[in-house]
Amino acid sequence: MSNLIQDYNPSDIGQVNGNLFGLPFDYESAKLVVFGVPWEVTVSYGAGTANGPSQILDASTQLDLFDFDNPDGWKQGIFMAGIPQDFLLKNKYYREQAAKIIERLAQGQTLTDTPDLTPILSEINQACLSVNQWLFEKCKEAINNGKRVAVIGGDHSVPLGYFQALAAKYPNYGILHIDAHADLRNAYEGFEFSHASIMFNAMKIPQITKLVQVGLRDICHDEVEMINQSNSRIIAYYDPAIKQKLYSGTTWIDLCREIVSHLPEYVHISFDVDGLDPKLCPNTGTPVPGGLELEQTFCLFRELVSSGRKIIGFDICEAGDAEWDGNVGARIALKLANLLDLSQL
């Protein structure tokens, strides 16, 4: 890797070489391996996030690489594996099938009405399970090879296999979850691996001992009840409560330190971009007014690192199929990669 770094000038024009940020690393030389998962079969509002990985990849070469937190963070070696194009074809097919189910339910009818859609539901759930298993195997292999791992979606259903791979290594870790939604619904719309069920499914993994959610503002009664009955395994920082504290004089830095205090030593960051103010990623699948500024989230992540906790990985999900969403998503990816590296120095 030393020769790669010696021959590379991070101040040059970004190289369009197929790799994230145009960096000159491959799987072998990189410490951080990023998997793009172009999957959004169960989305029930806006579509397009399946192209989020490619939008982020395309935008990433426009970024300057100097990072105020970790100026040499790029030297860790970052490599993005090829985005599986067959997933895009399967995604298109199963997305069309899922739309039939969503439409049927929206009309107040059951799936067993004629024509019976329950076989289609089973087929979709099996396809999503296969994606989870694929990602689990890829992440586990990379982790066993001594790599750090990150995932870019797609909708927020995609990182489940990654969570399971982390659980194979870490007997106790927490998730810091940025999102407008709690994603604690049980098989939303019948889809076992719905984007609205990712954290419900994550809570089935015993190694995940804490889930701290920040920015929630579009949530159902059952999710609030699950949070309240979790015996503090799930801690929610609702966006209206955050804003009320800030308006009342509490500083964001103090609130960040309070949020971080709930987390264990090892932390995965799960970043749904709809947790941000929608102006930042307006083409996300389910935009909600309100939310966080980008620098607010970076401040929170800095406090996580400053506390001595270790970032063990991250996922970025729900970036829309648009250049600006890709631009913002790429900046999140670079910041999280650099902070992950910094936390492990």
Strands 310-317 and 266-272, bridge-based pairing = parallel
- 86 marked as part of a ligand binding site: no
Q: How far apart are CA 186 and CA 183, in angstroms?
A: 9
The packing angle between helices 252-261 and 294-306, to 10°, is: 50
Residue in 158, 96, 151 with CA at minimum distance from that of residue 133: 158
- 272 marked as part of a ligand binding site: yes
Write out the two tokens for 199. Answer: 């954290």
- 274 marked as part of a ligand binding site: yes
Q: How far apart are CA 325 and CA 242, in angstroms?
A: 25
Chain CA centroid to CA 45, Å: 18
Which letter does DSSP use for residue 292 in this model?
B
Write out the two tokens for 161. Answer: 């296999």
User: Which residues neighbour 48 within 8 Å (Cβ) at sequence distance 6 or greater?
Assistant: 40, 283, 285, 320, 321, 322
CB atoms within 10 A of CB 169: 15
CA atoms within a 13 Å half-sphere pointing along the CA-CB vector of 14: 16
What backbone phi and psi angles, to 5 degrees, belong to 85? -70, -25
- 179 marked as part of a ligand binding site: yes
Residue 304 parent element (H or E): helix 294-306
Cross-strand bridge partners of residue 270: 177, 315
Residue 36 parent element (H or E): strand 32-37
Q: Which residues are annotated as a binding site?
A: 156, 179, 181, 183, 272, 274
Q: Can you say which residues are annotated as belonging to the binding site for Mn(2+)?
A: 156, 179, 181, 183, 272, 274
